Structure 1
Amino acid sequence: MLNVICIKWGTKYPAAYVNRLHRGVRRWLDREVRFVCFTEDAEGIEPGVEVHPLPREDFEDAIVAGMTRAGRKGAWRKISLFRPGLAGMQGPRLGLDLDVAITGPLDAIVDHAPDKVTMRREWRYEWRGQEGGHGSVFCFDPDLHPYLYEAFAADPEGSIAAHKGSEQYYTSMTALQAGQLAYLPGPLVCSFKRDAIPRLPLNYLVAPRLPGDCRVMCFHGRPHMEEAIAGYRGSWRHWSRPCGWLRHHWIGDDRA
């Protein structure tokens, strides 16, 4: 069985984000799936989602410090998802951030390198020819890769300091150093602001496009998902027309 996992804490993302992610996974994975959400607030989460309390760690203070430091870059609470035996899970795990839309079959992601830690190369690093993964979509098996949790638990403050304060950089570089990182093919995991919005000035004339082989669309930075649907007006340079296909894939609403 494939364990599909997400984590929701704080008030940034309401239960609807979990529910829409759950429906997208069920729609686009043709295999037995255990969908698990870890949260301190389960109100509004639909049946079919297996809810567990937000994991607490002996290094909780380090996690909080890492997420609240000036210039923070990391969702360090996600480290708990790497813990072997978490919530009684066994076997492979597909981790997904809440601010993504499932837009196509996920099998190519899950099956890409099942014995490795798989992530998409971070777009900035890809452009610069550098190593480092993006953490919105990640596959791993904690029985094969216990070091992801163990290395951080052994030195949480040092792990944060050594990896740019970024959880996704820690995850990818730790797996890389172990010889166990496999980058997902770039076209499978897309960035809305980089891959969907046409370049200036076409962004004023042409609606955002869904790349043909995209399976997961990531919304890192701006626009947020609701902003992308309505049309984004961040500035004269950061501007996009309304996005109907996102309304379809994320909400299930086919209005124009």
Structure 2
Amino acid sequence: MNTTKQIICVKWGTMYGPEYVNRLYAMVRRHTTGPIRLICLTDNHEGLRPEVESFDLPELGCEHPQRTHGKWKKVVLWGRELHGLTGTALFVDLDSVIVDSLDPYFSYGSPDDVLLARNWAKPFQRLGQTSVFRFPIGKNPHILDNFRADPQGTADRFHYEQHYITSSVTGGIKLWPEAWTRHFRLHCMLPFPFRYFFQARLPRGSRIVTFPGGPNPSDVMLGRWVPEAPAHESRWDHIRGAFKPGMTLKARWRHFTRYVIPPQWIADNWRE
């Protein structure tokens, strides 16, 4: 029986450099017992550390849908064949911070289960969030087949790739225990105005903290919400920035809520 734990990530375009993959490998290695494989599916193999196995990101096989925010390229993971990989794999987004053991993600449930983090942005719906999910490779090929048959229609109906996955898995998805996978903005950030004075907390029982919709952990460590914002801006400079001429009340409120103090727990874990 193969006891090697397989972790898959994807990297395309220019948003994330090879340091994200290398950092992910280091976090996985620190927080996983036994042999591991970190497999990166990418359109650029340069700069990856030698322990990372990199393969070309499979082609989507159809036109990419328009007018959508969904990360639809991730549906290639559900093809019948994935570079000869077999068994189960744990997918982890590159902007995730691993803070505790990943071993339970591999032992929980049945190997045939598709396990996802709960979509906390819609807590009253049983939706999965594909920042972290485990799946049996090649067992749900209809997900990619059906998408290829009607990519634009699928995107228009579901809007996000994770909603499509939630509704398409044969037998339905299952969800991780709620404490394991936490959402940075929703579970870690304190409400306004406390975030001006206190670091984001790390909830008890967390194993992975995800950052869907931003901010990116690399920006958080620079004390900013987005790359174009000033790094390590003081709270008073940030507050003054909310009173620029012409700002709407909505824009002003959004500015107030986008202040972040770099948390020590990210610095301790978000490293090679």
TM bracket (short chain) = 0.7 to 0.9
- Give 2:44's match in structure 1, choosing from 41, 45, 48: 41
Secondary structure of the corresponding residue to residue 257 of structure 2? coil
Give the deviation of 1:135 after TM superposition.
1.0
- Give 1:7's match in structure 2, choosing from 7, 10, 15: 10
Secondary structure of the corresponding residue to residue 123 of structure 1? coil
Larger radius of gyration: 2
> Which residue is 2:101 aligned to?
105
What is the 5 A alignment of 1:127-206?
Answer: 129-164=124-159, 166-175=160-169, 178-206=170-198
Please give the alpha-carbon distance, in whole angstroms, between the structure 1 residues aligned to 2:139 and 2:215.
Answer: 36
The structure with the largest helix share of the pair is: 1
CA contact under 8 A between 1:3 and 1:89: conserved in structure 2?
no
CA contact under 8 A between 2:118 and 2:178: conserved in structure 1?
yes
CA contact under 8 A between 1:231 and 1:243: conserved in structure 2?
no
**1:12-40 superposed Cα distances (whole Å, 9 cap, x missing partner):** 00000011111111111113322111111
Please give the alpha-carbon distance, in whole angstroms, between the structure 1 residues aligned to 2:52 and 2:177.
Answer: 29
> Which residue is 2:213 aligned to?
221
Give the deviation of 1:143 after TM superposition.
4.0
Q: Structure 1's 11 and 190: CA in aligned 2 closer, same or farther, altered over 3 A?
A: same
AA aligned opposite 1:99 = D
Secondary structure of the corresponding residue to residue 94 of structure 1? strand
Let me know the Cα RMSD of the aligned residues: 1.8
AA aligned opposite 1:121 = R
Aligned-residue sequence identity (percent) comes to: 31
Give the deviation of 1:221 after TM superposition.
2.2
Give the deviation of 1:120 after TM superposition.
1.2
> Which residue is 1:88 aligned to?
84
Does residue 242 (structure 1) correspond to residue 265 (structure 2)? The answer is no
Does residue 51 (structure 1) correspond to residue 54 (structure 2)? The answer is yes
Give the deviation of 1:2 after TM superposition.
3.0
Please give the alpha-carbon distance, in whole angstroms, between the structure 2 residues aligned to 1:39 and 1:237.
Answer: 34
Please give the alpha-carbon distance, in whole angstroms, between the structure 2 residues aligned to 1:3 and 1:219.
Answer: 22
Give the deviation of 1:159 after TM superposition.
2.3
CA contact under 8 A between 1:91 and 1:142: conserved in structure 2?
yes
CA contact under 8 A between 2:82 and 2:138: conserved in structure 1?
no
Please give the alpha-carbon distance, in whole angstroms, between the structure 1 residues aligned to 2:7 and 2:146.
Answer: 23
CA contact under 8 A between 2:78 and 2:138: conserved in structure 1?
no
Q: Structure 1's 188 and 207: CA in aligned 2 closer, same or farther, altered over 3 A?
A: same
**1:121-152 superposed Cα distances (whole Å, 9 cap, x missing partner):** 111221xx112111100111034333333332
**TM-score normalized by the length of structure 2:** 0.82
Please give the alpha-carbon distance, in whole angstroms, between the structure 1 residues aligned to 2:187 and 2:82.
Answer: 35
Matched length: 240
